[in-house]
Structure 1
């Protein structure tokens, strides 16, 4: 009996030891697996065309129209008025809530970043529903490079090092694209590299090396008869020594949005050619500013070949936006060494107030919600046609006007900055999804200071005809309900949401300027709605219709979702000294460049 008990005891002990061994082995492996899901070494999805021995490469070559004398870069910065609010210490409750919100934003970032790493590493974008990839911007890894500084800001050091290793394999001297979208390449790639270089204080030489490599390639788009760029650049013609022409129809934003990135590249490297290139553009914009059909403003479309600015369409939305945005930002980055950008901004802002700014009619008459119109002007400026439309892309304006009010001593514009920001918050809050549409037509107040709600007028404008009888009113109500049109809005010309950052950009800037914590609450509300509507298996997707709480996804996640939208949200819930507006200039792609206190 004793022997049998010993045998059973020994057997039981062996089984227990085996179970314990398996458990002890499995536990760390499971934890390691979880950790590796967070920090995997992704497998690059390479393009065989770029590694082909027959691929064309654009290496250093002689310019057809060389510059003989470069414009010097200012080197002695002057004081600029303080931008940021002097934040008091936060309470424990405030800190707890802020950190909780910040962690939620960071989790959303990692969800999308991991989807990109797993399914589109070193390609431009992941398709967040299907798990495929898309090359929209020359196939150099747009999401990877655009997100570099966000990884630094969020303290994702392991992810940053994985990304830095991948940079070694990106070859900016060749691409499968027939032409290169210069604007997008500069703001996404150049911006991401330079900002990460600034934020890490030059610790990683690969960042500047790649920025210079890209700069050397892109600079060839300026090799034209008047040194104006070709924006859909036929790069292979340049590689083969053939002449290229400046674009005859170019978006104003494309022409006017090199300055911050190229200036910073010159500041860091000491190579004057980049600043010289953008200064030539600035001089042309300055000389033409008061000779357009609406003096002070530039048309949306310009002819860079003949340097003509006589088109009739004027807007602050897509194709024009960042040309205006860069006026105060370049002034700051140059250390206020010239009045050129101040004068251009003042002229533009005065023209915006006179020709574009309007208030929307809302049920809550205490709300002073401001937007800007699109204007068509006849030759000679004798006749204007105004469209009261609001694009999501215009939502950057609140932040721009706020910064301009501070650095150019235009304090009277601060109320406009807040009204423009509140307008975009209002547009988010009106939709069933809690998300603003891409483009909407709205009801404009006749008087910006006195604007009572007039429901009959709203119905009349929705229907674009008189609404006088009960039957006509009932029909208007049916249209409003069927179309999902909130009060004050007339139609949704484009009901999509493309993961855009502009509204949150202005919320961030105005929060940093005013210290108003209600802006943090608005941002949290916006984030929760966006995250709920756009989250997919492999990231976050643009949606088709903001008028429904459950919208169809479009399987599109552009790099700016990580580089801008989530970065602005993270910064809204950060301590205010993280990327202080008194220490950094944020590019149109939200890349922070170090402000000069004396150039490097």
Structure 2
């Protein structure tokens, strides 16, 4: 209650400080959506191949190594791929996979873990996957007629989620309430970290709040919201918040103070900003202040981070920042920003946010179409055209000589050419399509899927690759991430599929909001809100 009161008090001040241009400009547009059964069938086939390989060679372990037909327990040995695949199997109507996963879930021993436990990864994959599965299975019209749910197995899904959270909650036993991300089990205990990061603190609140709302136990949500409070009210402000709403990365666990002012919409920071607007979508009554902080972050990003490459000023990327100094580099991970800003524009009836997100999505599309494989790289850089920095500034170096020709044509150069089965570009296509109904985004997603299918299919499944800018993707890294099931295949499917209760709606009437692992979580309370 103390934290909630503080937030409400600060919210009034922040709302008054918002730019006048951030006010709502209502969209009176309901898109027409089309489905492509031939494409969804192909994506289902890719899921089946991936699942069959995993189930044969890796189950009940975490991840498949498809080239060597072995497994990895990279997520504590609880079957990460199975739990991550549940919501996708439900959405696709894959009854056999659903039955196999539900049978596994009831037998997971969350008291014993292989290796150290990441609170963040466990929350978004396991806790999010369990809660999403439960929400889908208890929502009328969410499931195909092929799926039948055993009440005992259904109850086990929520029970296991609660049991897992009961073991994880030791993470929050710190002087400030800012959690320790590094844990061990048997018995549950902290590893004694001194710091935690923006994303790993700020990407817990949706799942833990949902668990509270489903179980009626407010403790879970309160724990995550207490840690989030320090991110919403960053101190010391001069260091922690170089631009309004844009904050640093590392936080002292003892006192909740920020240790730097470096960040961006990139790995380590990204999903903190993502969850600000998604918590408002989940429940605008309780989380109005989260919306205000998201608006501040987006306004600052549009003003201070939006950058146009000197060789391709038609493109728009978001720079990173170190204090108030921009850094002109980004990541495949960061390409989620387009979808998140589009979502915020829809929810807030703010057309210019939608358009800005569409511009970002189109630029991320170019990171795919510019490479030999048609897949975007892990990290890339560019030289700003002078809107944010002088061309000879120390933070705005030209392309390396080996990539000058590529830079002139593409507008960026590649720092790390890996592709590790990431979903973020297709994720933004999904939001762009749901906002506009423009079928070009379906085509872009289909082209991306075909490129990934052609390049990453390996052995018994799909593998990450070493270099997107050489024929064949270089070499296989022999690893099929669990988020391949949860995100890449689900976003690829959803954008081509029929409308459904779990699909994002342009008028914000949808019944679900997606966690950062693309697990649909049922929104709180009656719908619609406006």
TM tier, shorter chain?
0.7 to 0.9
Q: Does the 8 Å CA contact 2:87/2:136 hold for their aligned counterparts?
A: yes
Is 1:503 matched with 2:425?
A: yes
Structure 2: unaligned runs, 5 residues or longer: 6-23, 140-150, 392-396, 505-509
Once the two structures are TM-superposed, the CA of residue 84 in structure 1 deviates from its matched residue by 11
Q: Does the 8 Å CA contact 1:511/1:520 hold for their aligned counterparts?
A: yes
Q: Where does residue 498 of structure 2 map in the other structure? A: 575
Q: Where does residue 164 of structure 2 map in the other structure? A: 214
Of residues 161, 164, 173 in structure 2, which corresponds to 1:223?
173
Q: Where does residue 132 of structure 1 map in the other structure? A: 70
Deviations 1:355-404 (A, max 9, x none): 211123455x6xx3211111112xxxxxx432211200001101110111
Cα pair distance change 1:572/1:81, threshold 3 Å: farther
Is 1:411 matched with 2:346?
A: no
Taking the aligned partners of 2:483 and 2:67, their CA distance within structure 1 comes to 17
Q: Where does residue 436 of structure 2 map in the other structure? A: 514
Q: Helix, strand or coil for the counterpart of 1:547?
A: coil
Of residues 214, 220, 224 in structure 2, which corresponds to 1:278?
224
Taking the aligned partners of 1:305 and 1:328, their CA distance within structure 2 comes to 27
The 5-angstrom pairing of residues 82-121 of structure 1 reads 86-88=30-32, 90=34, 95=35, 98-121=36-59
Once the two structures are TM-superposed, the CA of residue 485 in structure 1 deviates from its matched residue by 5.3
Cα pair distance change 1:479/1:423, threshold 3 Å: closer
Once the two structures are TM-superposed, the CA of residue 209 in structure 1 deviates from its matched residue by 1.4
Q: Helix, strand or coil for the counterpart of 1:507?
A: helix
The 5-angstrom pairing of residues 126-525 of structure 1 reads 126-177=64-115, 179-201=116-138, 203=151, 204-236=154-186, 238=188, 244=190, 247-288=193-234, 290-291=237-238, 292-295=240-243, 296-362=245-311, 368-377=314-323, 384-447=324-387, 461-463=398-400, 476=401, 480=404, 487-525=409-447
Q: Helix, strand or coil for the counterpart of 1:123?
A: coil
Once the two structures are TM-superposed, the CA of residue 131 in structure 1 deviates from its matched residue by 0.6
Taking the aligned partners of 2:412 and 2:253, their CA distance within structure 1 comes to 37
Q: Helix, strand or coil for the counterpart of 1:325?
A: helix
Is 1:559 matched with 2:444?
A: no
Q: Does the 8 Å CA contact 2:317/2:360 hold for their aligned counterparts?
A: yes
Q: Does the 8 Å CA contact 2:403/2:413 hold for their aligned counterparts?
A: no
Larger Rg: 1
Q: Does the 8 Å CA contact 2:111/2:185 hold for their aligned counterparts?
A: no
Q: Where does residue 597 of structure 1 map in the other structure? A: 525
Cα pair distance change 1:237/1:596, threshold 3 Å: closer
Q: Does the 8 Å CA contact 1:251/1:300 hold for their aligned counterparts?
A: yes
Q: Does the 8 Å CA contact 1:247/1:305 hold for their aligned counterparts?
A: no
Q: Does the 8 Å CA contact 1:359/1:370 hold for their aligned counterparts?
A: yes
Once the two structures are TM-superposed, the CA of residue 337 in structure 1 deviates from its matched residue by 3.7
Taking the aligned partners of 2:70 and 2:348, their CA distance within structure 1 comes to 47
Deviations 1:526-561 (A, max 9, x none): 110011000011100000000112121110111000
Q: Helix, strand or coil for the counterpart of 1:543?
A: coil
Q: Helix, strand or coil for the counterpart of 1:404?
A: helix
Cα pair distance change 1:569/1:490, threshold 3 Å: closer
Q: Does the 8 Å CA contact 2:78/2:109 hold for their aligned counterparts?
A: yes
Q: Where does residue 62 of structure 1 map in the other structure? A: none
Cα pair distance change 1:83/1:134, threshold 3 Å: farther
Deviations 1:92-139 (A, max 9, x none): xxx5xx110111111111111111000001100010111110011111
Cα pair distance change 1:84/1:134, threshold 3 Å: farther
Cα pair distance change 1:84/1:390, threshold 3 Å: farther
Taking the aligned partners of 1:147 and 1:429, their CA distance within structure 2 comes to 28
Q: Does the 8 Å CA contact 2:111/2:186 hold for their aligned counterparts?
A: no
Taking the aligned partners of 1:211 and 1:411, their CA distance within structure 2 comes to 38
Deviations 1:169-219 (A, max 9, x none): 210011132x21110000000111111101110751121111111111111
Once the two structures are TM-superposed, the CA of residue 405 in structure 1 deviates from its matched residue by 1.3
Moved more, 219-228 or 116-125: 219-228
Q: Does the 8 Å CA contact 1:421/1:507 hold for their aligned counterparts?
A: yes
Once the two structures are TM-superposed, the CA of residue 312 in structure 1 deviates from its matched residue by 3.4
Q: Where does residue 381 of structure 1 map in the other structure? A: none
RMSD across aligned positions (CA): 2.6
The 5-angstrom pairing of residues 537-556 of structure 1 reads 537-551=459-473, 552-556=475-479
Structure 1: unaligned runs, 5 residues or longer: 1-67, 73-79, 378-383, 449-453, 455-459, 464-475
Taking the aligned partners of 1:277 and 1:85, their CA distance within structure 2 comes to 39
Taking the aligned partners of 1:438 and 1:371, their CA distance within structure 2 comes to 15
Taking the aligned partners of 1:187 and 1:338, their CA distance within structure 2 comes to 20
Q: Does the 8 Å CA contact 2:367/2:375 hold for their aligned counterparts?
A: yes
Cα pair distance change 1:535/1:191, threshold 3 Å: same
Q: Helix, strand or coil for the counterpart of 1:147?
A: helix
Once the two structures are TM-superposed, the CA of residue 286 in structure 1 deviates from its matched residue by 1.9
The 5-angstrom pairing of residues 8-47 of structure 1 reads none
